[in-house]
Amino acid sequence: MPAPLSLLGEAHTVISVIPIVAGLYSFAKHGGIQPEKRSGQIYLSGLALSVVTSFGLSSTGGFNSGHALGIFALLVASAAILVGRVSFLGRLRAYLKAFGLSFTYFLLWVPGINETLSRLPPSHPIGNGPDSPPVQMALLAWVILFAAGSLLQAWTIHRSHALSRARA
């Protein structure tokens, strides 16, 4: 049976729901996370808070791969926002920005999937850590879903550019 959540663990879990919901809303409403939209701003703020609160948590007693993923997600989010402003990249910047921000959503879920499957249901968790087959299968499914979603986003951006050129 997994260790019970600390008060910080509970706060981190609640905070982590914010970017999950805001990101899902952004994908459904706007086709991706857009920092200029309110949902994108909530997503990015929630992501930052989620990463910061994770540093007080560790089953290993120190810095772990979940912390590294959080830092990496923040770096990718920053790079994606900046690349959207680099004019010499032309139309490529829309693809890079969308992919980068979607990748942060992907990264957000990696430790979440592991923790969720390693804790639920409380009486008999589905998985028992990142090496357990149920967790690995769920992560594989998440990679496939991310790849399909990224292709769909790229196709949508391409269509949008094609329609813009046709109107001009």
| pLDDT tens digits, one per residue of 83-141 | 988 889 988 999 999 999 999 999 999 999 998 998 888 889 999 888 999 999 999 99
Q: What is the pLDDT of residues 139-156, one digit of tens each?
A: 999 999 999 999 999 999
Neighbours of 82 (CB within 10 A): 13
Rounded CA gap, 105 and 55, in Å? 19
What is the average pLDDT score of the chain? 90
Provide the percentage of residues in the chain whose pLDDT is more than 90. Answer: 65
Query: How large is the average pLDDT for residues 5-34?
Result: 92
Q: Please provide the DSSP assignment of 11-56 as one string.
A: HHHHHHHHHHHHHHHHHHHHSS--TTSHHHHHHHHHHHHHHHHHTT
Rounded CA gap, 82 and 101, in Å? 11
